[in-house]
Amino acid sequence: MNMRHISEGRQMGEAKQKRDALKTLVLSFIERWDFAPSEAEAQAVVEIKKLPQTTVRRYPKDVLSYMRMVPNQCHANARFMQDEDPDQKCKQVSGYWLQQGNFVLHSVVEREGELFCVTPMTVESTDEFPFIPDPDIEWRQESDYRVAYRKGVRVEPGFRSDPNESRRVGEIVRLRIERGMHPMKAGEPPF
């Protein structure tokens, strides 16, 4: 076997590992959003839709890598920026990243009036996205974790505009992935 074949085999192995990791991530995301609808969720959605929306820009990949920010850990990343800022100008701001009709709990950083995201993405994504800051989110320490609450209701992972539709789409995506479709393709309409 020559070096070219070894290199190609290694690349194929790395691609499969990335696809498997993405599959695990997407399936866990679907599972986290598969919970029973509640009146508290419906009321939160009504209130959140009235909050002002802004656009947030994500720091460039190379900057986030240099800063050693962790993918999918937005709350910890923003809190780290707040706690470790020697000038004490950074503040964690929690709210919602609008994604496919869902209000996904997300944290960004505010510094001198500007909001920015310090969390790298594991998949290709736009560097700007709609964000709704929510002043009613409070963080509570529970055992070794900080947990977000909104008006006494635990927020994680967020709120759904249409819980039944969200669950229906999640089930379709899950079935597509289980049948072998690439996780990114499985999440594309039509549903």
pLDDT tens for 44-66 read: 999 999 999 999 999 999 999 99
Residue 179's pLDDT band (boundaries 50, 70, 90)? very high
Predicted confidence (pLDDT) per residue in 84-101, tens digit: 999 999 999 999 999 988
Q: What percent of the chain has pLDDT over 70?
A: 94
Q: Tell me, what's the pLDDT at 3?
A: 54
Predicted confidence (pLDDT) per residue in 133-155, tens digit: 999 999 999 999 999 999 999 99
Per-domain residue ranges of the chain: 38-163
Q: Rounded to whole angstroms, how far apart are CA atoms 113 and 91? A: 10
Q: Rounded to whole angstroms, how far apart are CA atoms 145 and 172? A: 32
pTM of the model: 0.86
The more confidently predicted of residues 1 and 27 is 27
Q: Rounded to whole angstroms, how far apart are CA atoms 108 and 93? A: 5
Could you give the count of Cα atoms lying within 13 Å of 2 in the half-sphere of its Cβ?
1
Q: Is the pLDDT of residue 11 over 80?
A: no
Given its phi and psi angles, is residue 143 left (phi above 0), alpha (psi -120 to 50 degrees) or beta?
left
Residue 172 in tokens = 């379709």
CB count within 10 Å of CB 40 equals: 14
By DSSP bridging, strand 54-58 and strand 128-133 are: antiparallel
Identify the three-state secondary structure at position 13. helix
With beta carbons less than 8 A apart as the criterion, state whether 71 and 120 touch.
yes
Q: Rounded to whole angstroms, how far apart are CA atoms 77 and 142? A: 18
Q: Rounded to whole angstroms, how far apart are CA atoms 126 and 130? A: 11
